[in-house]
Amino acid sequence: MDIIPAIDLIGGKSVRLSQGDYQQQIDMPMSVTEAVTYYSQFPQVRRIHVVDLIGAAEQMAMETSTISEIKAVSQLPLELGGGLRDQETLESYDKLGIDYFILGSRAIMDVPWLTEMVALYPNRIFVGIDCKDEDIYINGWKENSGRQINEYVAEIEDLPIAGIIYTDIYKDGMQQGPNVERTGKLQEITHHDVIASGGVRSRHDLDALEAVGIGQAIVGKAAQDPAFWKGL
């Protein structure tokens, strides 16, 4: 199982939210650069997941300077999401050396645009699908897109994307375990790699995901707990 530690940014700080609620913000113990150094020592870590939380809500890039700092200290590939709504923003982060882009809200609502971006950056774009039950949410998880997961995934099946990052919003930041059943069912209907996100706490959770065909998991709060890594 590949582990992808998450660094969620607000104001240059590494934070975690509960169920995407910006009013339930917890500052993480490690600074952004400390976290990158810490995660990089573990062989299970293939890349680092970085999200510009205010950028996601405000629909524009907000954490460029902090992301530059992360890139400068990281020896691992970075995947970046939050506020990536136009080609110019992707180009600027591409020049900065960002390896993968996570496209969410606009990619959900504008598949022709997603298709154009994937043509420019084949196999470097993850599509972020953030759900409450079957409904996909957008704009920092504040709005129901009106789209449902199965029909959307069918639309992007033939695109050369890097994978699908699936987040169960109800599970995110709650440390109650991932939604193994829904994550596994999503993998059953797509040939794209599905990356689990939200609620992963332990080796037990990773084993449960692996049993339903998932090979990659994003880990947030638990990744800064030494006990998590000792259990692997």
Residues with catalytic annotation? 8, 130
Q: What are the DSSP E strand ranges found in the chain?
A: 2-10, 13-18, 21-27, 48-52, 78-81, 100-103, 125-132, 135-138, 143-148, 163-168, 194-197, 216-219
How far, in Å, CA of 69 to CA of 163, rounded? Answer: 26
Q: How many CA atoms lie within 13 A of 156 on its CB side?
A: 31
Q: Six-digit token pair at 31?
A: 């600074």
Measured CA to CA in angstroms, residue 189 lies from 45, 152, 185, 192, 211 at distances of 27, 11, 7, 9, 16
With DSSP H G I counted as helix, E B as strand and the rest as coil, what are the percentages for the chain, rounded to 5? 35, 30, 35
Q: 194 - beta bridge partners?
A: 164
Helices (H) and strands (E) in the chain, counts: 10, 12
Q: What is the DSSP annotation of 63-108?
A: -HHHHHHHHHH--S-EEEESS--SHHHHHHHHHHT--EEEE-HHHH
